C-alpha cells in the first residue's frame, strides 16, 4: 500500500487526491489542512454570491469521502506544526498543494494607513475565515471597520479578485441573506454607506485580467450603475479595432466599449472602471486613508505603460489593493522568491536542480496564482502522473505504521471528517437560529468546539 500525504484541501489538493485514488488501486491518501474545514479557496475565497462555483464543494466532498482518502484538519505543516521532514518519515510521498498564502503589496507610501487593506483581508472577512483580521488598525472591530463611514472606495487592480470585491462592496445585504456570509458581515453590509466604487487598472482595457463573464456581472447588480470613461478607453490602441486581440481580451474590450457608449443610468451606487492610472501614494487625513494619488500612464507600445508626470487624486475612505496573491516559503522546502513558487519538474520538487524523491507540488505553489479553479485539474494530473511513475521506487520503504497514530503520538490532534461534519451541522443550526440557511462560524474557538463535539 502506497501512503501519500496531500498538504492542503483546496481544489488542487482534492484533484490530486482524486487522481491518485482513481489511477492507483493501492494508494491511500491523507489530505491535511491547517484549518479544521476543507476546500481551501472554494470555501474561503470564492465570493458567497457565486453559488454555482461554491457548489463545487459537492464534488470535492465526494473526493474527501472516498474510502481510501482521509481528511485530517487542523494540522499545520511547518513551524509550530508537523515538520516537512516528519511527513516524509510517515508517508511514501508528500504533495504540497498549499496555494499562494499571502497578497502582494504595492510598496508605496501610505499603504499601511488605517482604511487601507488587501483585498484578501476583505475576502477573508466576508468569507468568515478564522484568521480574518479581527481588529482594524485603529482598534475598531473589523466588522464594520471596513465599511464604517465609507462613501467612496477604491479597488486597485483589474483582475477577477478586484471584480469580486467591487461586486461585494456594491451588494445590498438583502441579496446576501440566502448565502453563507457571516452574520456580522451581513449586518455591516446592511449599514453600508458606500455610493461610489472605483476599480482601477494601471494599464489599458485590453490588458485587464478579469474575465468577461465576471465583468458583465457588474451590470446585473440592483440599483448600481457602471461607468466607463470613453476617453480612457480610446487611449488603448486596441480599442478602436479589437479584432486582432485574443478572444478573451477582445470580448472585454467590446463589453467596455458598449458601456462607454451608453450613459450610465442613475442609480444609488456607481462603479467607475478606470484605466491608465498607476497608484503612487495613499493620501491621509486625520490619520486615516483619504484617497489615492495616481500617475496617469500611456501605453508604451509593448504591452506596458510609461508614466506621464501628470497626477490625479481620487478621494476614498477605503482602499483595497487587489494586485495578486503570492506564495510563501514552506519550512523545509526549496523556494524561488522571484516567482513565489517551489521549483519543480512536472510536479517533482527540485532541490538545487535535482529531483527530491517523494516530494511533489500542485496548484498555485507549483505554477503561481493564475487560472480558474478548473486549471487545477490538469496541473494536479501532471503531478499525479509523476508521482505514480515514481511509485515503484517510493513504495519500498517501510513506514512506522498508521500516520494518524504517529501524528497523535507527536501531540497533533487532527479534526477528522466527522469533526468537519459536526462543523457543518453547527453552521446549519446557527443559520436556523438566525432565520437563514447555513451561516459560517467565523472564529477558531467556535469551529474547534463544534469539531470536537463529534469526538475523536
| Identity of the residue, 154 or 330, whose beta carbon is nearer to ligand NAP in the bound complex | 154
219 Cβ contact partners less than 8 Å away, ≥ 6 residues apart:
226, 259
Region near ligand NAP per CB under 6 A, out of 32-40, 202-210, 222-230, 413-421: 202-210
Note whether 157 binds ligand NAP by CB under 6 A: yes
Contact between 218 and ligand NAP per CB under 6 A: no
Q: Residue 9 or 127: which CB sits closer to ligand NAP?
A: 127
Q: How many CB atoms lie within 10 A of CB 298?
A: 13
User: Which listed range, 242-250, 321-329, 336-344, 346-354, lies at the site for ligand NAP (CB under 6 A)?
Assistant: 321-329
Given 43, 202, 269, 344, the residue binding ligand NAP (CB under 6 A): 202
DSSP class of residue 397 equals: S
**Integer Cα distance of 74 and 37 in angstroms:** 8
User: Which span (27-35, 203-211, 337-345, 395-403) binds ligand NAP, by CB under 6 A?
Assistant: 203-211
Q: Smallest gap, in angstroms, from Cβ of residue 180 to ligand NAP?
A: 17
SS3 of 448, please? helix
Examine residue 252 and tell whether it contacts ligand NAP (CB under 6 A).
no
Please say which residue, 156 or 441, places its beta carbon nearer to ligand NAP.
156
The C-alpha atoms of residue 30 and residue 64 are separated, in whole angstroms, by: 9
Q: Which is nearer to ligand NAP, 133 or 157 (CB)?
A: 157
Task: Tell me: does residue 214 bind ligand NAP (CB under 6 A).
Answer: yes
Size of the site for ligand NAP (CB under 6 A): 24
Contact window for ligand NAP (CB under 6 A) among 68-76, 152-160, 329-337, 351-359: 152-160
- Which range of residues in 186-194, 196-204, 331-339, 354-362 is near ligand NAP by CB under 6 A? 196-204
How far apart CA 88 and CA 95 sit, in angstroms, is 10
Cβ neighbours of residue 204 under 8 Å, at least 6 residues apart?
A: 235, 236, 237, 238, 239, 275, 276, 299, 305
Question: Which helix (H) or strand (E) is 310 found in, with range?
Answer: strand 305-315
Alpha carbon distance 339, 365 (integer Å)? 9
Cell numbers describing residue 412: 497533533
Q: How far is CA 17 from the centre of its chain?
A: 21
Strand order of the sheet with strand 196-200? Answer: 116-118, 318-321, 152-156, 196-200, 269-274, 224-228
Exactly one of 9, 18, 166, 207 binds ligand NAP (CB under 6 A); which one? 207
Which of residues 71 and 294 has its CB atom nearest to ligand NAP in the complex? 294
User: Candidates 136-144, 235-243, 319-327, 436-444 — which segment interacts with ligand NAP by CB under 6 A?
Assistant: 319-327
Q: Among 68, 5, 2, which Cα is nearest to 362's?
A: 5
Contact 45, 123 (CB under 8 A): yes
Q: Which of 42, 161, 407, 448 binds ligand NAP (CB under 6 A)?
A: 161
The verdict on 279 binding ligand NAP (CB under 6 A) reads yes
| Closer by beta carbon to ligand NAP, 28 or else 202 | 202
Cα separation, 419 vs 62, whole angstroms: 16
Does 201 contact ligand NAP by CB under 6 A?
yes
Positions in 395-454 near ligand NAP (CB under 6 A): none
**Where on the chain is the footprint of ligand NAP (CB under 6 A)?**
106, 156-162, 164, 201-203, 207, 209, 214, 279, 322-325, 369-372
Amino acid at each position: 500500500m502506497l501512503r501519500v500525504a496531500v498538504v492542503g484541501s483546496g481544489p488542487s489538493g482534492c484533484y490530486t487526491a482524486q487522481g491518485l485514488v482513481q489511477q492507483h488501486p493501492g494508494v491511500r491518501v491523507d489530505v491535511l489542512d491547517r484549518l479544521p474545514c476543507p476546500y481551501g479557496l472554494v470555501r474561503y475565497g470564492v465570493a458567497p454570491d457565486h453559488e454555482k462555483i461554491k457548489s463545487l464543494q459537492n464534488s470535492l466532498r465526494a473526493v474527501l469521502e472516498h474510502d481510501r482518502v482521509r481528511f485530517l484538519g487542523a494540522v499545520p505543516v511547518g513551524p509550530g506544526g508537523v515538520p516537512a521532514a516528519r511527513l516524509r518519515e510517515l508517508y511514501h510521498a508528500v504533495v504540497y498543494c498549499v496555494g499562494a498564502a499571502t497578497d502582494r503589496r504595492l510598496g508605496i507610501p501610505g499603504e499601511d494607513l488605517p482604511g487601507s487593506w488587501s483585498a484578501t483581508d476583505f475576502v477573508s472577512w466576508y468569507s468568515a475565515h478564522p484568521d480574518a483580521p479581527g481588529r482594524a488598525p485603529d482598534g475598531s472591530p473589523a466588522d464594520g471597520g471596513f465599511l464604517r463611514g465609507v462613501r467612496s472606495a477604491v479597488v486597485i487592480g483589474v483582475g477577477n479578485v478586484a471584480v469580486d470585491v467591487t461586486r461585494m462592496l456594491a451588494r445590498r445585504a438583502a441579496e446576501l441573506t440566502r448565502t453563507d456570509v457571516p452574520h456580522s458581515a451581513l449586518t455591516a453590509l446592511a449599514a453600508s454607506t458606500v455610493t461610489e466604487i472605483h476599480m482601477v487598472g494601471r494599464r489599458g482595457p485590453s490588458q485587464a485580467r478579469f474575465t468577461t463573464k465576471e465583468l458583465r456581472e457588474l451590470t446585473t447588480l440592483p440599483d448600481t450603475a457602471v461607468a466607463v470613461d470613453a476617453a480612457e478607453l480610446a487611449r488603448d490602441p486596441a480599442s478602436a479595432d479589437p479584432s486582432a486581440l485574443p478572444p478573451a481580451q477582445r470580448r472585454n474590450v467590446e463589453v467596455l466599449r458598449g458601456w462607454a457608449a451608453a450613459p450610465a443610468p442613475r442609480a444609488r451606487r456607481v462603479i467607475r472602471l478606470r484605466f491608465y492610472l498607476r497608484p503612487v501614494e495613499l493620501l491621509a487625513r486625520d490619520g486615516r486613508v483619504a484617497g489615492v494619488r495616481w500617475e496617469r500612464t500611456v501605453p508604451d507600445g509593448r504591452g506596458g505603460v510609461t508614466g506621464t508626470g501628470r497626477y490625479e487624486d481620487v478621494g476614498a475612505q477605503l482602499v483595497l489593493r487587489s494586485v495578486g496573491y503570492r506564495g510563501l516559503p514552506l519550512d523545509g522546502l526549496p523556494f524561488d522568491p522571484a516567482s513565489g513558487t517551489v521549483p519543480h519538474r512536472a510536479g517533482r520538487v527540485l532541490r538545487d536542480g535535482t529531483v527530491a524523491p517523494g516530494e511533489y507540488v500542485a496548484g498555485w505553489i507549483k505554477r503561481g496564482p493564475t487560472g480558474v479553479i478548473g486549471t487545477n485539474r490538469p496541473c494536479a494530473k501532471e503531478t499525479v502522473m509523476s508521482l505514480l511513475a515514481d511509485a515503484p521506487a517510493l513504495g519500498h520503504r517501510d513506514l512506522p505504521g498508521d500516520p494518524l497514530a504517529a501524528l497523535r503520538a507527536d501531540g497533533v490532534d487532527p479534526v477528522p471528517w466527522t469533526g468537519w461534519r459536526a462543523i457543518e451541522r453547527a453552521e446549519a443550526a446557527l443559520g436556523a437560529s438566525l432565520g437563514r440557511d447555513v451561516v459560517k462560524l467565523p472564529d477558531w474557538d467556535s469551529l474547534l468546539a463544534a469539531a470536537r463535539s463529534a469526538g475523536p
